[in-house]
């Protein structure tokens, strides 16, 4: 067989005769079929795969009937040499009987009534290379299979890197949110900002006041008119609080409808009560939202740092809270100072 030649019809020279060894190098996955459909030669890569899949019962594929060993899956109805011949030049999809390798194929007639069928792995190439432990040497030097595998591998690496980048960004976002000092709904400071500022104020030792404000009837608005109305009201309240305080004051939303205001250098009770009453009056103004009028109110409890011999932020917050509940108990819509 080594010295035998295959004759392939060529378009210009009429015919090209090639040693089998040359065919093997040019098309390491080709099959040569006789006119009767017997396999007369096959490329080394195909032989390797067949041997691994134990197809062809020991003696290899040569001499066996092609259609016994292979099936043409697409196009349908290719079951004999005449069918195969009629499909010359078309892309064929084939498989080995008893093996799970899928091939693409291209069949062309030779000058002696036989057929040269060249195969490739098609899209499942990575799987096939892995399954049959193929190497560079199993592919023709012109074949781009190795480049394809290379690209698949680069893609895998880059995707992995992108995934890690996304995870890092997600982590950074979470961290940024944790470290944020702003309440996203109202633009006021948040609980964290209040805690930081309160701690600083306690350490600094300069006098300051703490106001706790709760909305009255807010839950009712939220329940009857919906969350959008509730959010609208919270934003309006935020505007009121900012308008009625100084730029150096800290206004924080610390819960659903709970606010805390820290006022540095303001401890005179009449002034503080006046500020709180202005706020309560402004919040009590009816607000229009999508054709509906909603009216809420606010209660305020307050305390000042000079009440305390040994000051802690926590104690001040608790006392302002106690005053706030006293205000609510007394009928809401009012301000109650904490009394030592």
Partner 1 sequence: MLGLFNRALENFLRQRHGPALWQRVVQRAGLPFDSFEPLLDYDPALTVALITASCDELGQTRETVLEDMGTALVSHHDRDGLRRLLRFGGVSFRDFLHSLEELPDRARLALPHLDLPDLLLEDRAGGHFTLRAAPPFAGAGFVLIGLLRAMADDYGALVLLDMAPPVAGADVISILVLDESYAEGRRFDLAIAAP
Q: Which residues are catalytic?
A: 257
- Binding-site member from 15, 97, 155, 173 for partner 1 (CB under 8 A): 155
115 to 154: interface string for partner 1, x by CB under 8 A: -----------xx-xx--xxxxx--------xx-xxx-xx
Footprint on residues 202-231 left by partner 1 (CB under 8 A)? none
Number of residues that bind partner 1 (CB under 8 A): 23
Distance of alpha carbon 310 from alpha carbon 298, whole angstroms: 30
Distance of alpha carbon 244 from alpha carbon 261, whole angstroms: 11
- Binding-site member from 4, 165, 180, 220 for partner 1 (CB under 8 A): 165
Q: Which residue number, 99 or 207, has a Cβ lying nearer to partner 1?
A: 99
Q: Which two tokens stand for residue 97?
A: 């009987």
100 in contact with partner 1 (CB under 8 A): no
159 in contact with partner 1 (CB under 8 A): no
Contacts by residues 44-49 (CB-CB < 8 Å, ≥ 24 positions apart): 44/138, 45/134, 45/138, 45/139, 46/119, 48/132, 48/134, 48/138, 49/96, 49/99, 49/101, 49/128, 49/132
Q: Which residue number, 165 or 206, has a Cβ lying nearer to partner 1?
A: 165
| Bridge partner list, 263 | 209
Distance of alpha carbon 324 from alpha carbon 8, whole angstroms: 99
Task: Give the number of other CB atoms < 10 A from CB of residue 49.
Answer: 24
Binding range to partner 1, per CB under 8 A, among 4-12, 159-167, 181-189, 253-261: 159-167
Q: Are 101 and 122 spatial neighbours (Cβ–Cβ below 8 Å)?
A: no
| Least Cβ distance, residue 331 to partner 1 (angstroms) | 56
Give the footprint of partner 1 on this chain (CB under 8 A). Answer: 126-127, 129-130, 133-137, 146-147, 149-151, 153-155, 157-158, 161-162, 165, 168
């Amino acid at each position: 067989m080594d010295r035998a030649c295959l004759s392939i019809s060529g378009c210009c020279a009429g015919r090209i005769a090639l040693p089998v060894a040359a065919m093997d190098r040019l098309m390491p996955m080709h099959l040569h079929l006789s006119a009767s459909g017997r396999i007369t030669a096959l490329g080394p890569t195909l032989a390797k795969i067949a041997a691994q899949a134990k197809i062809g019962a020991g003696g290899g594929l040569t001499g066996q009937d092609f259609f016994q060993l292979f099936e043409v899956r697409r196009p349908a109805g290719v079951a004999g040499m005449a069918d195969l011949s009629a499909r010359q030049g078309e892309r064929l999809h084939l498989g080995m009987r008893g093996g799970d390798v899928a091939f693409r194929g291209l069949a062309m007639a030779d000058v002696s009534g036989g057929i040269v069928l060249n195969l490739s792995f098609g899209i499942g190439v990575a799987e096939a290379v892995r399954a049959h432990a193929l190497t560079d040497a199993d592919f023709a030097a012109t074949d781009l299979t190795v480049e394809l595998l290379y690209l698949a591998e680069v893609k895998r690496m880059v995707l992995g890197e992108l995934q890690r980048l996304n995870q890092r960004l997600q982590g950074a976002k979470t961290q940024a949110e944790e470290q944020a000092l702003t309440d996203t709904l109202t633009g006021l400071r948040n609980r964290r900002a209040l805690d930081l500022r309160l701690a600083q104020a306690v350490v600094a030792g300069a006098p300051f006041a703490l106001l706790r404000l709760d909305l009255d009837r807010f839950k009712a608005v939220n329940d009857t008119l919906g969350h959008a109305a509730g959010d609208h009201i919270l934003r309006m309240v935020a505007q009121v609080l900012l308008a009625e305080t100084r730029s150096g004051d800290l206004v924080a939303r610390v819960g659903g409808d709970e606010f805390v205001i820290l006022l540095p250098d303001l401890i005179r009770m009449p002034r503080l009560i006046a500020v709180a009453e202005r706020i309560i009056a402004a919040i009590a103004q009816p607000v229009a939202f999508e054709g509906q009028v909603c009216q809420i109110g606010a209660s305020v409890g307050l305390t000042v740092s000079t009440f305390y011999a040994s000051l802690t932020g926590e104690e001040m917050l608790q006392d302002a809270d106690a005053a706030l509940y006293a205000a609510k108990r007394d009928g809401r819509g009012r301000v109650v100072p904490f009394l030592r």
